[in-house]
């Protein structure tokens, strides 16, 4: 493959998703990640050419900056507690369109917006698709936690069969701090045959804020293929 072909896959999927789903006066949740950049640029282009008057709610500092840089209207959940749709990326997508998200550290905000949207539209390249979660994404499930509890929580993850690692920052000493002021532990549970069961177990543990498992939330996934086409898959919650 040519060096830029992966970016073309991302761009094709993002633009198709925007063209087929964004209409006038929508309130849109804007996710995080490299593929979302192409989506925001396309939304801005359509907004200007068709005067769509869309409102955009960010999931992270990065997406907030993207909205501002592309001169789109920045809004909040306080103003619009029900969104028309959220468009976001994923770290891995299984056959049932369950997701692992949170590689960029924004999983809680992303899940909040997704859960308050009429539709969740996922855009990704072919590398993110697998039969089961954990096949391609080897870093583990991102879990946002209360800092006070990180040691006992890591021990509990081990008892559940996981291999936890506290996510460390790359440009500063110490752990990654989320936009909510929390820590993230990445827990490798291997191949996930029943992600719903695991997600339910994890979310009952005090100190866990939320997990990067997005179960049964996706309306449609637009996946850029090697040949430049885009595979469109429909979720069960349509």
CA dist 20 → 13, 39, 175, 221 (Å): 11, 12, 40, 12
E strands, the chain, in order: 27-30, 55-58, 73-74, 85-88, 92-93, 99-100, 120-125, 141-145, 163-166, 183-188, 208-211, 213-214, 220-224, 230-234
Instruction: Answer whether 73's CB lies under 8 Å from 107's CB.
Output: no
Of 52, 72, 53, 51, the C-alpha closest to 63 is 72
Tell me the Cα Rg of the chain: 18
List active site positions. Answer: 110
Residues 6+ apart with CB under 8 A from 130: 92, 93, 94, 136, 137
DSSP symbol at 131: S
């Amino acid at each position: 493959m040519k060096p830029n072909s992966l970016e073309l896959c991302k761009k094709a999927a993002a633009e198709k998703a925007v063209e087929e789903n964004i209409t006038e006066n929508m309130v849109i949740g804007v996710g995080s990640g490299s593929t979302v950049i192409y989506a925001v640029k396309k939304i801005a282009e359509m907004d200007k050419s068709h005067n769509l008057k869309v409102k955009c709610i960010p999931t992270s500092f990065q997406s907030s900056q993207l909205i501002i840089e592309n001169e789109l209207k920045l809004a909040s959940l306080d103003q619009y507690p029900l969104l028309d749709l959220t468009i976001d990326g994923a770290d891995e997508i299984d056959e049932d369109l369950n997701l692992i998200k949170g590689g960029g550290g924004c999983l809680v905000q992303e899940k909040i917006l997704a859960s308050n949207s009429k539709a969740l539209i996922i855009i990704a390249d072919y590398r993110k698709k697998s039969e089961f979660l954990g096949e391609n994404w080897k870093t583990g499930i991102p879990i946002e936690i209360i800092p006070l509890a990180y040691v006992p929580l890591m021990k509990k993850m081990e008892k559940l069969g996981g291999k936890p690692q506290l996510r460390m920052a790359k440009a500063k000493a110490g752990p990654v701090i989320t936009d909510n002021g929390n820590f993230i532990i990445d827990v490798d549970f291997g191949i996930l045959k029943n992600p719903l069961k695991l997600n339910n177990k994890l979310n009952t543990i005090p100190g866990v804020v939320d997990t990067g498992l997005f179960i049964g939330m996706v309306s449609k996934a637009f996946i850029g293929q090697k040949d430049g086409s885009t595979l469109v898959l429909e979720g069960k919650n349509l």
